[in-house]
Structure 1
Amino acid sequence: MTSSKDKTLKLWDLEQGRELATLSGHSGWVNAVAIAPDGKRAVSASDDKTLKLWDLEQGRELATLSGHSGWVNAVAIAPDGKLAVSASDDETLKLWDLATGRAIATFTGEFSFKSFKSCAVASDGVTVVAGEMSGQMYFLRLEGLRD
């Protein structure tokens, strides 16, 4: 899967080297894509200030995740496929419940006017690492936020 400046995502058959589908729905550039561990869903992050949850088997949008007030630069999905974290120019990280499409937590950076540019969820499913434009790195624990 690739993201693009034409506001779409492209799903590719890597063995055959051919495009399988084009997924449309964002109104801004697509900055990042994360694929769920089961390979059946993906989440895209866009300049339109949203994330979109996609069904890769059906090639369709499942939900729009709204809540950021700035461009969404990065997204990562937890190893269990239930949660995603997003990094935004609005100086926040948001934790999303992919079953409901709702933000369940918001984290704010220490420095003013420094957007989050990257994020990842460790294999333990509890540790989140995020990077700000300033070069500051954050390590967060998701304890107490999940059932």
Structure 2
Amino acid sequence: MSITDRLAELGVTLPDAPAPAANYVPFVRAGGLLFVSGQISTGPEGLITGRLGDGMAVADGAAAARACAISLLAQVKTACDGDIERLTRVVKLTAFVNCTPDFGDQPKVVNGASDFLVEALGEAGRHSRSAVGASLPFGVAVEIEGIFETR
């Protein structure tokens, strides 16, 4: 099944790729690898903000991480001249979770992105990753950057 078909089956339409918020590019290609800049948690109503361990539930953080993964795929699609089918593998995610110093469930939050990518891409969605706590711009709940293999 194609990536486009899997996304449709999941009820996901990739949005336009978000523009950078500062002085950087949204992605860089190096050979067959595509390095996508950090994508902050954004939904149809705007930024998804909150701090895990301070009023935001893990499930809400996981939904924010899923939104980041959708934005990552939107950037990949743009980098591949609109052809998401050129994506062959998710290599690595580095995820940052806005949380209190004593919050320790960053991996559970980031599973929102990881689980979605495996649902959408099958085995090609399995990846290595890091999940760390941080203070994030605009008070967003999650930011994730990724490395992808494309053809």
TM-score by length of 2: 0.27
Query: Higher relative contact order at CA 8 Å, sep ≥6: structure 1 or structure 2?
Result: 2
Query: Which of the pair is proportionally richer in helix?
Result: 2
Query: Which of the pair is proportionally richer in strand?
Result: 1
TM-score by length of 1: 0.27
